[in-house]
Amino acid sequence: MTKPAAQTSDPAPHPPDSAEAADGTSLGSTDRPYWRTNLFGRFFRDQGYLLKTWWPGEFRRPGFTGTALAGVAIAADSSGSPEGPDREFEEYVRGASWGGRAGPTWRRFSNLGNGSTEALLIGAGYLVGRWSGNDRLAEASSLSAEALLSAGLYSTVVKALTERTRPAGGGRGDFFEYQAPAGQVGGSFPSGHATGAFAVATVFAGTYADHRWVPWVAYGTAGLIGASRVSLGRHFPSDVVVGAVLGHSIGRMVRARQAGTEDPVSRIEPFVDPSRQEAGILWTRRW
């Protein structure tokens, strides 16, 4: 008598460990997307990345360096000179022909660029996005908060180092006035309002790049905030230009961190070439 052969069946195929969601994260993974990780943790990590990798790369990018240097050159040329283009344009914008009639409107745009106002709007956008299930709005708001923190840090540091006098109170835009004359106020260079506004605008424009009207509205609003600071006599045009360049760069940095495309200046990684039976350490650098 023979025993019947045991019946075997192929085990059911295992499902994939995780499926990729639309935002690039794994549905079966416990990892949260970048924009949902701790905000202040991201901010502190950003500082090391900015100093070691991002800024060295930016200084080799003509669009960043050329524009920033042009703003610095105009500011330096106009400092202490009543005929400099920086001071002349500031006086024209602030004059009765434009700034006088549009004063209330410019004040509204200026208030929109206050750090407290931006933080309130960004926080509201994040909460609305999370409650309504609009992850894109929540992502843009979270990344904007991250960019705004760095924008505030760097604009404050540069202001303290340069101590340029503001136009109001008879200031001539002189640099390094650590003990400004009576009635004059320092901290003009760069414009903190412009830095923050363009950092947030860059994040929203990048997040909603497939909506053509969003970049126009975002950068247009940031531009009006910057113009309001000149019209109200709080900044010189070069302060706004350099602030806009700085904010735009920080916004791009945050977007790159979110996308995982930081493109570091240098990289050290192992390599293996089976065809040649070689292995070692490879150092690459982007010039």
Examine residue 26 and state whether it is found in any structural domain, yes or no.
no
The structural domain count of the chain equals 1
Most confident option among 75-84, 239-248, 254-263: 239-248
pLDDT at 89: 84
In this model, does residue 12 exceed pLDDT 50?
no
Question: How many residues does this entry show for the chain?
Answer: 287
Examine residue 85 and state whether it is found in any structural domain, yes or no.
yes
* Rounded Cα gap, residues 84 and 69, in angstroms: 16
In this model, does residue 246 exceed pLDDT 60?
yes
pLDDT at 72: 93
CB 123 within 8 A of CB 97: no
Examine residue 13 and state whether it is found in any structural domain, yes or no.
no
Q: What is the pTM (predicted TM-score) of this model?
A: 0.80
Q: Which domain holds residue 125?
A: 34-285
Could you read off the pLDDT of 168-189 as tens digits, one per residue? 878 888 999 998 888 889 999 9
Higher pLDDT, 250 or 63: 250
Examine residue 29 and state whether it is found in any structural domain, yes or no.
no
Examine residue 125 and state whether it is found in any structural domain, yes or no.
yes
Examine residue 229 and state whether it is found in any structural domain, yes or no.
yes
Distances (CA, A) of 156 to 15, 87, 160, 163, 192: 52, 22, 6, 10, 7
Percentage of the chain with pLDDT > 90?
Answer: 61
Could you read off the pLDDT of 212-232 as tens digits, one per residue? 999 999 999 999 999 999 999
pLDDT at 116: 94
For residue 286, what pLDDT band results from cuts at 50, 70 and 90?
very low
For residue 71, what pLDDT band results from cuts at 50, 70 and 90?
very high
Other beta carbons less than 10 A from residue 281's beta carbon:
8
pLDDT at 264: 44
pLDDT at 100: 52
pLDDT at 275: 64
Most confident option among 50-59, 175-184, 269-278: 50-59
Examine residue 11 and state whether it is found in any structural domain, yes or no.
no
For residue 114, what pLDDT band results from cuts at 50, 70 and 90?
very high
pLDDT at 262: 53
Q: What average pLDDT is seen over the chain?
A: 83
CB 247 within 8 A of CB 195: yes
Examine residue 197 and state whether it is found in any structural domain, yes or no.
yes
